[in-house]
Structure 1
């Protein structure tokens, strides 16, 4: 039975309004377009009512009739005045009091022209305070220790927005009130400086501050009236945070969070402070380069493109189309990726096209597509972090790899959700989790089978769901019967009782999503690990429901989109199979060209084929496999063995240095387009500044190459490309730039009337019935022995992103973190005579590097961890080029190493 919402009708400034019962006066006024001043209010949080600026007059009200609009609820028949004499006098008095303890240096303040206190003082005619006597805030207490922002308590009005956003939204609780009376101030815990605190430099406090108390260092170089703001999507991880680029002239000078569905006015340190400086970096590529006698020399576009076309044409004529290959860029927009794969297929004549999902989430694409019918996240971010009871977090470190998602998980914990962390490391969320299963790296399948064993044994499976909506259950049931808690505990190095507790918690909760990341996928059994996640969810009927599902957090900003656009050797755009003759016929008709029906090579197959001389020509768009791919020595040999190599990039990367031709592309801030985030949400990217030098629109370069190869191609805009995408990809059929203007759309979105699909597989699975896969546990390909006794895993850290091509050009980021490290357990460090910060050598069967020790208990004894961001200790010199048999994904998470102190 549908419940009717109770409403109340009232009057605000002689305008009638009807609103749901429980609506605040501030919200009701906003519906009428009436702006009420606020200094402490944050719409994402409960009202605070501390600043008193939002007072309004209630006719016939008690105590003079003044109430705070942010806390007072609407009532039937209320008559409200928001600008009466009594209201204005009260607001002037509040401003007078605030100025009595405020440093008045507006002209030199970085927030001049962008300060709410200044705006309201001008509006209400307050130039100075009338309270000239009394104690004032002690002077010269500025804290400039944070590399990104400064704090001046003399400009603070104690609105507490900073502490509330830090505690209740970021989940860190770094800032609080200290002292009393005139000495009261906001400060990091124990009155420490910011650089000594637990501050993550997310900058959300800076964005929330209404005055110049917290202000970014960059803000001092511009004034708000000199700038414009351009809404776009963050270029870092797959969360898809919406943000406003702040533009002065043709230069990016800052970033502000926007109210996007995935981030809701939050950003992380990378989004806030490291998503714009690289765009204007002095070492951007600005003209084509051709290597002559081993040295790069500037060239004209015509000269460079003629060489590219001539060389690829000759290689194709001499060795066949399949001697060519292309790697696309999962950090660039959908439109670029679509045109790139079209170039490889229609002009090169091969399906040898791939993107870096190969080295992170191709296991998700394969695994979930096989068991559910679609290889994508099933539920929206907000759905799996807002109203849930239990979160099963497997092989994912979201507070570092997807920080805004991590912050929302912290919020969920504050609201009562219990988190089960399944991870070989003590990640940040462990301290707030209900349970940590510190599994041995590479044992996810055994863990999953153990969970299912307990669920079945204790009668917690959803038998109706299994019978009506799935197939393959009997074989799974037989298999997991062998995986007793005791057996799994021995394999995973965990406590059997913890496994039983985790299974009960997850199965009994009504709303319990599985969230996983590269700790599941980057294994030689990665696809099987993904299938195991869907097995668990289907066993308890937690798919196709709110607050549930199987949710891979995609690594890079547009990995999802690059896969959607067909930058894979076995799929045309929209996951339409190369092996399907009807698909070939469809795209031949759409593109007016004959196409190959032969499944192409993955990127991890192309490089060995290049070493063998089978791949002769390679075109890499925005990828850096020298840094990102396993076993770096093999990658070098492959690139050196190519007959002709083209790189299209923003910077002279380590990979670009091996190229014969380097073409300057443009950044996300210099183009229009779309990214698709981890929750399948297609969102706009908007041009904010003009390209540097002679750099060109990426898709236009591909079109020119195609045309010179004999396949004429041209688009007038990115929007025109999206129109073609919508024609050839059924799940994008309803996506247009016009519809994306306000908010993104989640595919499938099949028509202009379709509002998109927030939750997948609601009534039936994309494949019809969900498929259980009976998967036995298999050991990792390389395990420790006497020569290499430590099990090494890899991953991300908070402050840097992948190869540091973007974050490494932000000075503040480098100040916080500028060198590689290896996490070692204290027991091992003591035995080896290694102390915190010592230089050590790390060696595997593939190479040796030097790095610095980070000693503690985040990893078990005999296990170590390294990030892959830093050139001074590139972990991929050590990682093994073993691959998942199904998705051909590298086993980054497990290899054997030895460690020794540098004498």
Structure 2
């Protein structure tokens, strides 16, 4: 037996001719786990294995998505050369031909329709360097005010709330390592166990240390099962629930008076408003028992330390920004900010959701988190870029509003980078119809996504294994993603593509970069003195320290692990409390006799965003190969739906067909559908286009729908 084993291992050793190790970071969620892809080459084939690398945030842990990320990067369907649509078919062309096609069409649109007829639609999955270049490209190369990105659909509520209350927006106000020592933790609308599983350890540690953990969610998830108390809230009533907590805290004098007086404004107005509310009315509105409201308020009020975390469940609503502001009111009232294990965390969704919104991709933003409408900020960036301030465009429109302008033919051209708005936006059927009206659409992508299929030109880009650059994780920690794998075929990095297109438009002097590091060094200088100050970071420092938390204003600065210790970022140094009505300004879609159920949407562990990448992974697709409808068994019985059968869901915008999954873990008045699928299973077809008035976030989490068994025999068309 021993000789046979030796012979076997010798044969294996002979077959393995070489081994390559690629250092990288996961391309999916905002934790940005560092890892290595190990490629082994034998005589007959290549095999791949992914292992985690130790790092300050996830400590070497990986989830199922990270372990299988390479499958999409190595997929046979990768686009590896430029494609131009001729007579409805994509034809491979040279880069020279593709760039000339872009130059000719963009120039014609600018002449015929004006500079603002061109638009730029960016991404929160690209590097900081590329996000910075996208903002510069729109304003300097295209001279358009119309630029926004898919992060608008993800982080805008939390970002606008934090900016309004604190004067700055960084994912976590404290380092992630403080979580285990918080005595009370509220997880509002966040399913960390499935969406950011590699940081669940911090919350599990907190529970072991005796923390009281509250999860607010209309459905039971792996996260709510970990919590001590699950608040099964009625969808869309988070702001009212926060008012209930504030009322109990203030009525019982569980407030930090010195903190309120020295570091905040607006408390008396909030106190007066919540005093006018009745707890029983809030309980009826939210469907949360009074005793549970009191229990959460007691823990937040009496414990010395506490943290509140929010994610899309609270934020993707038409009053999402105000709901977050009300939760921040609680932290200010109890003095739980700027102290150890006291603070706020916006659990960012996309891989670079934090960094991508800091340096110019948002409609109203300039590098360093500066405002495009602030005259001082405009002058600073114009001077830095070497253009006249009058030539720097003003504020544009949000992502969905740009689509509306496409439909109205105010925008006739679009440069789209690593995003899939046909699937990700609300009223998705309308979005597809609108984009088909464009005179010219350029898509930069790894695959022919649902949106890229509508393009006139598709430019092949590099994957996370090939594209070096910095990313900013949910903590606000800037990390350097190493990427040494060779780019396939004629694909180019996003930053190279942006520069190439800019050069074709005659703007070479502004885009003459030869490496990602060169772009980062310009970003550092551009952000200097801004709220998101990256100046003190270099590639060398990021490698040595495994990431640095911003702000980092000088080369000898270690980064800010905890912010707001002395003051807030407003000019007066104070946090701003504000009255948040229990009833939103923009009315949410209510259920009725025709549409009697609430629809809420979300993620599953095996997939990411619109699924363009994860659905190319055989290991991930095997886990979740189709969409589904979570429905309570009693609700299913009421509408004659059997477990596992096809169901048609309809809203006022149209319908989709998915398979039912009966579960007692969801409210009887609510159904849930994940958003990772396209076309006939695209749940965003059902979502209204109503937007949050403060941040322009669509209300993905509350729609009115009806459900019924799908009658295959009648061959009902999907709208």
Q: Shared fold (TM-score greater than 0.5)?
A: yes
| 1:407/1:710 CA distance change after superposition, 3 Å | same
**Greater RCO (Cα-Cα under 8 Å, separation 6 or more):** 2
- Is the CA contact 2:177–2:202 (under 8 Å) kept in the aligned structure 1? no
2:22 pairs, out of 221, 230, 234, with: 230
Distance in 2 between residues matched to 1:381 and 1:467, nearest whole Å:
26
For 2:569, the equivalent position in structure 1 comes to 766
For 2:451, the equivalent position in structure 1 comes to 655
2:62 pairs, out of 254, 263, 267, with: 267
Distance in 2 between residues matched to 1:251 and 1:740, nearest whole Å:
32
User: How far apart are 1:380 and its partner, in Å?
Assistant: 4.5
For 1:181, the equivalent position in structure 2 comes to none
- Higher mean alpha-carbon deviation, 888-897 vs 263-272, is at 263-272
For 1:716, the equivalent position in structure 2 comes to 514
Q: For 1:400, what is the secondary structure of its paired residue?
A: helix
Q: TM-score, normalised by structure 1?
A: 0.75
- Is the CA contact 2:175–2:561 (under 8 Å) kept in the aligned structure 1? no
Q: For 2:210, what is the secondary structure of its paired residue?
A: coil
Q: For 2:395, what is the secondary structure of its paired residue?
A: coil
| 1:385/1:229 CA distance change after superposition, 3 Å | farther
Write out per-residue CA displacement over residues 806-831 of structure 1, whole angstroms, 9 at most, x where no aligned residue.
22122122222111101101111122
For 2:684, the equivalent position in structure 1 comes to 876
Q: For 1:724, what is the secondary structure of its paired residue?
A: helix
User: How far apart are 1:373 and its partner, in Å?
Assistant: 0.8
1:667 pairs, out of 463, 468, 472, with: 463
Distance in 1 between residues matched to 2:10 and 2:591, nearest whole Å:
55
| 1:581/1:428 CA distance change after superposition, 3 Å | same
Q: For 2:354, what is the secondary structure of its paired residue?
A: helix
For 2:274, the equivalent position in structure 1 comes to 480
Matches of residues 84-123 of structure 1 in structure 2 within 5 Å? Answer: 105=5, 108=8
Write out per-residue CA displacement over residues 23-55 of structure 1, whole angstroms, 9 at most, x where no aligned residue.
xxxxxxxxxxxxxxxxxxxxxxxxxxxxxxxxx
Distance in 1 between residues matched to 2:254 and 2:191, nearest whole Å:
28
For 1:503, the equivalent position in structure 2 comes to 297
Distance in 2 between residues matched to 1:845 and 1:251, nearest whole Å:
50
Matches of residues 605-684 of structure 1 in structure 2 within 5 Å? Answer: 605-684=401-480
User: How far apart are 1:103 and its partner, in Å?
Assistant: 12
* 1:537 aligns to 2:340 (yes or no): no
For 1:22, the equivalent position in structure 2 comes to none
- Is the CA contact 2:180–2:207 (under 8 Å) kept in the aligned structure 1? no
Matches of residues 434-583 of structure 1 in structure 2 within 5 Å? Answer: 434-583=228-377
For 1:257, the equivalent position in structure 2 comes to 52
Q: For 2:28, what is the secondary structure of its paired residue?
A: coil
Distance in 2 between residues matched to 1:360 and 1:819, nearest whole Å:
23
For 1:851, the equivalent position in structure 2 comes to 658
Distance in 2 between residues matched to 1:864 and 1:495, nearest whole Å:
21
For 2:538, the equivalent position in structure 1 comes to 736
For 1:893, the equivalent position in structure 2 comes to 701
Structure 1 gap segments, 5+ residues each: 1-99, 114-220
| 1:111/1:769 CA distance change after superposition, 3 Å | farther
Matches of residues 11-26 of structure 1 in structure 2 within 5 Å? Answer: none
User: How far apart are 1:588 and its partner, in Å?
Assistant: 1.9
* 1:817 aligns to 2:624 (yes or no): yes
- Is the CA contact 1:650–1:667 (under 8 Å) kept in the aligned structure 2? yes
Write out per-residue CA displacement over residues 275-327 of structure 1, whole angstroms, 9 at most, x where no aligned residue.
11111100000111111111111111111101111211221122221111101
1:371 pairs, out of 147, 165, 185, with: 165
Q: For 2:61, what is the secondary structure of its paired residue?
A: coil
Larger radius of gyration: 1
User: How far apart are 1:111 and its partner, in Å?
Assistant: 13
Distance in 2 between residues matched to 1:699 and 1:668, nearest whole Å:
13
For 1:776, the equivalent position in structure 2 comes to 581
| 1:845/1:337 CA distance change after superposition, 3 Å | same
- Is the CA contact 1:579–1:597 (under 8 Å) kept in the aligned structure 2? no
Write out per-residue CA displacement over residues 58-114 of structure 1, whole angstroms, 9 at most, x where no aligned residue.
xxxxxxxxxxxxxxxxxxxxxxxxxxxxxxxxxxxxxxxxxx9x998466579978x
- Is the CA contact 1:615–1:642 (under 8 Å) kept in the aligned structure 2? yes
Distance in 2 between residues matched to 1:236 and 1:702, nearest whole Å:
22
| 1:109/1:803 CA distance change after superposition, 3 Å | farther
User: How far apart are 1:425 and its partner, in Å?
Assistant: 1.0
* 1:343 aligns to 2:163 (yes or no): no
For 1:406, the equivalent position in structure 2 comes to 200
User: How far apart are 1:857 and its partner, in Å?
Assistant: 1.4
2:94 pairs, out of 291, 300, 304, with: 300
Q: For 1:519, what is the secondary structure of its paired residue?
A: helix
User: How far apart are 1:529 and its partner, in Å?
Assistant: 1.2
Distance in 2 between residues matched to 1:505 and 1:772, nearest whole Å:
21
Distance in 1 between residues matched to 2:348 and 2:704, nearest whole Å:
27
- Higher mean alpha-carbon deviation, 834-843 vs 892-901, is at 834-843
For 1:785, the equivalent position in structure 2 comes to 592
For 1:206, the equivalent position in structure 2 comes to none
- Is the CA contact 1:423–1:519 (under 8 Å) kept in the aligned structure 2? yes
Distance in 1 between residues matched to 2:122 and 2:628, nearest whole Å:
30
For 1:183, the equivalent position in structure 2 comes to none
Distance in 2 between residues matched to 1:337 and 1:222, nearest whole Å:
43
For 1:239, the equivalent position in structure 2 comes to 31
For 2:606, the equivalent position in structure 1 comes to 799
Write out per-residue CA displacement over residues 353-374 of structure 1, whole angstroms, 9 at most, x where no aligned residue.
1111110111111111011011
| 1:111/1:280 CA distance change after superposition, 3 Å | farther
Write out per-residue CA displacement over residues 483-510 of structure 1, whole angstroms, 9 at most, x where no aligned residue.
3321211110010010000011122222
For 1:331, the equivalent position in structure 2 comes to 125
Write out per-residue CA displacement over residues 96-148 of structure 1, whole angstroms, 9 at most, x where no aligned residue.
xxxx9x998466579978xxxxxxxxxxxxxxxxxxxxxxxxxxxxxxxxxxx
- Is the CA contact 2:263–2:574 (under 8 Å) kept in the aligned structure 1? yes
Distance in 2 between residues matched to 1:387 and 1:692, nearest whole Å:
46
For 1:383, the equivalent position in structure 2 comes to 177
| 1:472/1:704 CA distance change after superposition, 3 Å | same
> CA RMSD of the aligned region, Å?
2.0
- Higher mean alpha-carbon deviation, 836-845 vs 809-818, is at 809-818
Distance in 1 between residues matched to 2:204 and 2:190, nearest whole Å:
14
For 2:714, the equivalent position in structure 1 comes to none
For 2:717, the equivalent position in structure 1 comes to none
1:418 pairs, out of 193, 212, 219, with: 212
- Is the CA contact 1:258–1:265 (under 8 Å) kept in the aligned structure 2? yes
Write out per-residue CA displacement over residues 835-882 of structure 1, whole angstroms, 9 at most, x where no aligned residue.
221111000111111101110112111211110012351101111111
- Is the CA contact 1:399–1:407 (under 8 Å) kept in the aligned structure 2? no
* 1:727 aligns to 2:525 (yes or no): yes
User: How far apart are 1:377 and its partner, in Å?
Assistant: 2.2
Distance in 2 between residues matched to 1:423 and 1:494, nearest whole Å:
11
* 1:395 aligns to 2:189 (yes or no): yes
Distance in 2 between residues matched to 1:581 and 1:798, nearest whole Å:
44
- Is the CA contact 1:251–1:689 (under 8 Å) kept in the aligned structure 2? no
Write out per-residue CA displacement over residues 583-614 of structure 1, whole angstroms, 9 at most, x where no aligned residue.
22222222222333421111111100000010
Write out per-residue CA displacement over residues 384-410 of structure 1, whole angstroms, 9 at most, x where no aligned residue.
432222211101010111111234323
| 1:636/1:104 CA distance change after superposition, 3 Å | same
| 1:107/1:304 CA distance change after superposition, 3 Å | farther
- Is the CA contact 2:426–2:688 (under 8 Å) kept in the aligned structure 1? yes
* 1:753 aligns to 2:556 (yes or no): yes
Q: TM-score, normalised by structure 2?
A: 0.93
For this pair of structures, how many residues does the alignment match?
694
